[in-house]
Structure formats: structure tokens, C-alpha cells
Structure 1
Amino acid sequence: MRIKKNKKKYVTANLPPGTMAYKGEKLSTITATEIVNYSKDEHHRLQSNRIEDAFNLKGNNQVTWININGLNNVSDIETLGVHYDLHPLTLEDIVNTGQRPKIEEFENYIFVVFKMLFIKNDDELHYEHMSLILGSDYVLTFQEADGDVFGDVRERLSTAKGRIRSQGSDYLMYSLLDAIVDNYFTVIEVFGDQVEELESLIFQSKEAGDDTPQDIQKLKQEILKMRRSIYPLREVINRMEKIESSLIEQKTHSYLRDLYDHIIQVNESVDLYREMIWSLMDMYMTIISNKMNEIMKVLTIIATIFIPLTFIAGIYGMNFQNMPELSTENGYFVLLGIMFLLFLLMLLYFRRKGWL
């Protein structure tokens, strides 16, 4: 009998190029807009639910950072795209959560797609699709929902700490990407602790339970997903560092080179833990096999001990009349003594061989 499996239906949406279609799961009823406008001597921050509030800041000789939360509100994003003259394919990639990290250079802006990874209070790893647009005096960031890793950047902007307020929009772009990559280290550290904890659990075989293979498989899926999100950013930053564009000043390239070194280090850590996870299952199966071998050894020894005893009992269990030992007065006790002596001799032999 052949078991029929429920086949998953795959639907291909053959939409025209440039069609905005959000496919994520993080839905927001409003488009939360955060507007930060700053210069070396001034700083203004506004939070609004109206995308139009960001329009009057364009071309004010200051740097403007507009952060949009809620990619499912495609009409608002399209309105912002019209105002900043964004290409339709750019708008399509902004709301396409399946888009891999990449960088594209247009005439008046640079478009970057990446994944933001962060740990929330539930100690679970969260992935968020993000897009960044660098203009001459503005930076636009688009994220799926509330929550990001830009708290330190906001603090530096509000307190004028560091050089960020005295630099242009390209340095703001670098600062945001640097915050993303730095948080990768935190995520990798948390993930590494989970791998090492599971590794210790496997070695302590008494505590390793039946759900250990599922835990290993879950970590394996997580590291593969993490690698797909982080690894392409290496090429993105490398290409960004080599771009000859008026939007990126020459002095900013030095910071981008340092950022490239950081993402290389992150990728190396991901590959290291990936190899460790792949070896965890082999390690677990080896320990389980060793346990089974120990059990089989004990059972084999027990069976070996009882083979001669069973042989003797079988012989004297036959119903023949001409068996001299059956008429002996103490034959029963003598036979039990011989069987017990064989038992002791075999135990001593097994112990001398180191099998017990």
C-alpha cells in the first residue's frame, strides 16, 4: 500500500516588473515614520503616522534620516518613492522580504538590501528585512515592524557624541550598517553559547534525552538561515567600498573597509559554528552507538555464561532410564555445584580479560 502525501501547492505570481507586493508576515495598521533632521549644531526628531510629514525636509541643507516601519503599507511607501524619485524596481525590492542582500547604484541614490538580526526578550532570534537608500543629503530606511538595533546611533545623533553630526549622509549610512554588523556579533555569541551548551549536554550522556536530535536539527536549520542572511552582505560591503560615487566621500571608504573586516569575521564565526553543528549529530550517534555496544556486551556475557549451564541442564533433563547420575544419592547437589563453579570460573575469566 502506498501512502499518499499531501502535496504542497506552489503558486507563481507572475506580476509585472515594479509591482509592489508585500509577502511578509509582520503586518502593521499604520506606517510609523521616524524623521531625524540634523546638522552639526542642530538636531530635530519627529515621530509621525503620516508619510507626508517627511516631505518638507528635502533640500534644507541638513542631513535627514527617515525610518519607515510597516512594509505592508505599500501605498505610503510608493508615495515616498514618488517624492524621492525612486525607481519602481527599487520600490518592489523594498517590500519583497525574500530579496537577498544586495546593492544597486542609481543616478541619484544607492540602494542597499540587508537582513537585520536581533535577540528579543524571549531569547529567540528574529529576522527582519531592511532596505536603505542613500541620497545626497538623506538616508531612507525601511523595516517590517517596530524594533531595531539603531539605539546607539539615535543617542549619538541626539547628544552630538562622536563625529556623526559633523559628517554627511554617507557616514550615517555607514553608522547604520555598522550597528547591524555589530549586532551580528551579539547574535553569533548567543548562538555559540547554545551550540556549546548542547555539545556539553551530548558529552554528559546521562542528561542527553530523546529530543537531542531535534535540538541539533533546529540549530542546523537556524545556522543555515543565518548564513543566508549574513553571507551575501560581505559582497555588498565589498562592492560599496569600491564604488566611485559622489554620494560616498573618500574618507568614508576607510570606515567601510573596517566594516568589511568585521563582516568577514562574522562570516568566519558562522562557518565555524556551522561545522560544529554538523559534527554534533555524528558525535551524538557515536555516543548512542557506544551505549548500545555496552548493552550488547553485557547481554552477550550473560548469554555466554548461561550457555554451558543450559547445556548441562538440557542433558540431565532428558528422560532416559539408563543415566547413572540419576540414581546417585547426592547427584542433584553435585550438579548444582559444578554449574556454580563454571559460573564463577567464567566470571573470573571475563574479569581477567577486562570484559567486565
Structure 2
Amino acid sequence: MSKRTSTSPRVRKHLDNAHLLENLVYMGEENVSTSIELIQYDKTQISERAVRPDEKLKELIKPDCVNWFRITGISDAGTTYNICKAFGIPRFDVKDLLSGYRVTKVITHDTNTFILMSGAYISEDKELIIYQNAFILGDNYVVSFQERPSTIFNDAKDAIKEGRVMIREKDEDYLLYILLNCLHSSFNDAIIKLNNRLNEMEDRLIDDDTENINVMRFISRRKKDASSLRRIIAPLREEYINLLHNTNKLIKPENIMYFEDFDDRLRTSLDDLLAFRESVSSLSDLYFNNNNLRLNNVIKKLTIVSTIFIPLTFMVGVWGMNFDYMPELRWAHGYLFAWGIMLLIVILAVFYLKRKRWF
């Protein structure tokens, strides 16, 4: 039984009981028209071309090549369903792809393997962006779906063109491994960039340089980012065991070790994410400690002022009493004497507090 885990996007359509609808409905936030790029290669040659979504995609597969259908945009529910149907993906799996709930699942069918997962990267405005991805692994082909345009798979395409990392000598299962690693690299890159922002904020907190920054909002967003990334990576590792079981034998025995290595990388990413969450908690503690320290400094200054002025207040209170006989009130030099006494008290108090290192 496949476990389904969801991560809500920032903006998502809502339909009451959408799972009961007869028609397929795209529930995500992206409105991207479907485009398909077909990349076919073997040891000696490579070709690439654009394909119309209404073409019969399975008939384009060359049996002596690795065929990669790179699909961008799933907002057209009908087109997405027709593509998935052509490759033997059941309707309920397509519903999960279109749901917008960031479902994670790995399903092995008799003739293909369907992988549904989320991708993540840091945008130009330094915010975490999460979007839906899917893969279909079959005999001589890999189909990749991306909810929104992204350059994450460009490195894989360049590697195919240049014949790097043995990719041209391997089969379609190795291509799937490379694409999964591209997504994993985007996870790691997101965690690293978020960690760098945390370190930058920590330095500013230590230097007390946060005058125009809403630190609590920053910490709250980083907590949400950590939670979002965990809801991507943790379910993927749980579901990934279905891929390693390889019940339909689409992963070649000589390539199993690569997929086992990917499982280790997912575990490492979870450890890095745990460290990131602890760093967020530490930053929160540092922020509150700084606030407490700042408050303590204010109280300390007020205490110093009070310590100096309490004796003066006492003297003023004594001389302000309405008794008929107070000799110093009728003394010709009483006013100057009072000022002298008060200045002496201030000097002695400051000298004493200075020796005690209160300031």
C-alpha cells in the first residue's frame, strides 16, 4: 500500500470533495502550457526535438535507444491524462499528479514504474519554491513531468550531449537515477542556501544589526521551509523502498547499486535537514537571549540612575518638609551647601559603581 503525504503550496485551488469529481481537475498554482522535448540517444548518437502533446508518443520510441520525454507543464488536465494513459498510468495516479497536494508515491506496475514527488529550489527573491514532479520508467524510455519550467534537468541534458558520467553507455534506468540525483542536488542546494541565510542572520544578531529586519518573521519562514522540505524528503525515502524492490525488473542488476547510493543520499539529506531545523531553533534562542540581554541592559541602566538619585531624592524630601525650625534653611550658604552635598554624593556613587564594574 502506497503512503501519501502532502505539502500544501502557498496558493492552491480548493474544491469541496475534489476527490469525488468525475472529471480530472488540476489543483495546483501553476498555469503552464504543456511542452514536450524528446531526447533520444545511444553510445554513438543523440537527437532532440520538440513533440506536440497530441502526438502518439509511444510510437516515437526507438527500441535501440534511450528515449527521454521531458514534459513541462501539467495544468492542462486532459493533456496530462492522455500522456499518462498512453504510457499505462492509471487514472487515480494521474489524479494525484494533478491534485496540488504534493503527494509522494512510488508505484511499480507490470510494465512501468511511476514515481510522484516534489521538487524544491530557492528563487531569485530567496524564497523556497516547491513544485510537483513525476517520472515514468519503462522499457527503453523515461518520461519526466515538471509542474513549472526549471533548469534542474539541464545538467542531465548536458551530460547526455557530452557523454559524461557513462550516461551514454547506460540504459534508461541509469537516466532515471541521474534525474533523481538532479532533484536531490536541488534539495541540497536549497538546504545549503537556507543555512547560509541562517548564518548571515546569526551574525547580524550577534552584531546587533537587525534594526530594519523582522527577525521573528524570518525565523517563522525558515521553520516553515524546514517543515516543507521534510515533507518532501522523508516520505520519498519511505516510498523509495518500493523502487529498490524492483519487482518489475526495470532496473538492471548492475545499476541497483546506484539506486542504493541514492537512498543513502536521501538519508544524508534528512540528517542535514535535521541539523538545519536545530539551527533554526538555535537562532530563535539567540534572538530571545539577545532581547533578554537588551532588556537587562536597560534595567541595569535604570538601576544605576536610581542608585545615584535615590539619596538625592531623600535629601530633597527631608529639606522639603514643612517644619518651623530647620536651621539650614535660614543659613546664608545653605543653598550652596546643599548643592555641594548632592554633587559629592553623585561623585561617590559614580566612583563606587565604576569600581564594581557596573558600567
Same fold (TM over 0.5): yes
Say yes or no: does 1:262 pair with 2:265: yes
> For 1:15, which of 4, 19, 26 is the aligned residue?
19
1-structure distance, mates of 2:85, 2:132: 22
1:27 aligns with 2:41: no
* Worse-matched range after superposition: 326-335 or 128-137: 326-335
Q: State whether residues 111 and 248 of structure 2, in contact with CA within 8 Å, keep that contact through their aligned partners in structure 1.
A: no
Residues 43 and 168 in structure 2, CA contact (< 8 A), matched pair in contact too: yes
Give the match's secondary structure for 1:179: helix
Give the distance between the partners of 1:224 and 1:289, measured in 2 at CA: 28
Cα separation, 2, equivalents of 1:313 and 1:295: 26
Matches within 5 A, 1:79-158: 79-158=82-161
Equivalent pair of 2:35/2:71 in contact (CA under 8 Å): yes
Structure 1 residues 210, 152: CA separation in 2 closer, same or farther (over 3 Å shift)?
Answer: closer
Closer/same/farther in 2, CA of residues 15 and 212 from structure 1, 3 Å limit: closer
Deviations 1:319-343 (A, max 9, x none): 3322222222222222222222222
Q: Aligned to 1:51, what secondary structure does the other structure show?
A: coil
Q: Deviations over 1:187-229 (max 9, x none)?
A: 2221111010011111111445451222121222122112212
8 Å CA contact retained: 2:184, 2:266: yes
Residue 299 of structure 1, CA deviation: 0.9
Aligned partners of 2:157 and 2:62: how far apart in 1?
22
Determine which of 325, 331, 336 is the counterpart of 1:333: 336
Match of 2:57 in 1: 54
Return the structure number with greater relative CO, CA threshold 8 A, min gap 6: 2
Partners of 1:236 and 1:53 lie apart in 2 by 31
| 1:279 is aligned to 2:290 | no
Distance 2:250 2:278 in 1: 40
Q: Is there any run of 5+ residues in structure 2 with no aligned partner, and where?
A: 1-12
CA distance in 2, matches of 1:17, 1:135: 30
What TM-score comes out, normalization by structure 1 length?
0.90
Q: 1:171 Cα deviation (Å)?
A: 1.2
The verdict on how the C-alpha distance between 1:161 and 1:305 changes in structure 2, with shifts beyond 3 A counting, is closer
AA matched with 1:189: I
1:224-244 deviations in Å (ceiling 9; x for gaps): 112212222222334422334
The Cα of 1:140 is off from its aligned counterpart by: 1.2
Query: TM-score if structure 2 supplies the norm length?
Result: 0.89
Q: Is the 8 A contact 2:108 2:247 kept in 1?
A: no
Could you tell me how far apart the structure 1 residues matched to 2:291 and 2:212 are? 11
Cα distance in structure 2, aligned partners of 1:141 and 1:226: 21
Cα distance in structure 2, aligned partners of 1:112 and 1:198: 37
SS at match of 1:149: coil
Task: Please state how far the C-alpha of 1:277 moved relative to its aligned partner.
Answer: 0.4
- Count the aligned residue pairs: 347
What is the rounded CA distance, in whole Å, between the counterparts of 1:89 and 1:198 in structure 2? Answer: 44
Amino acid at match of 2:174: Y
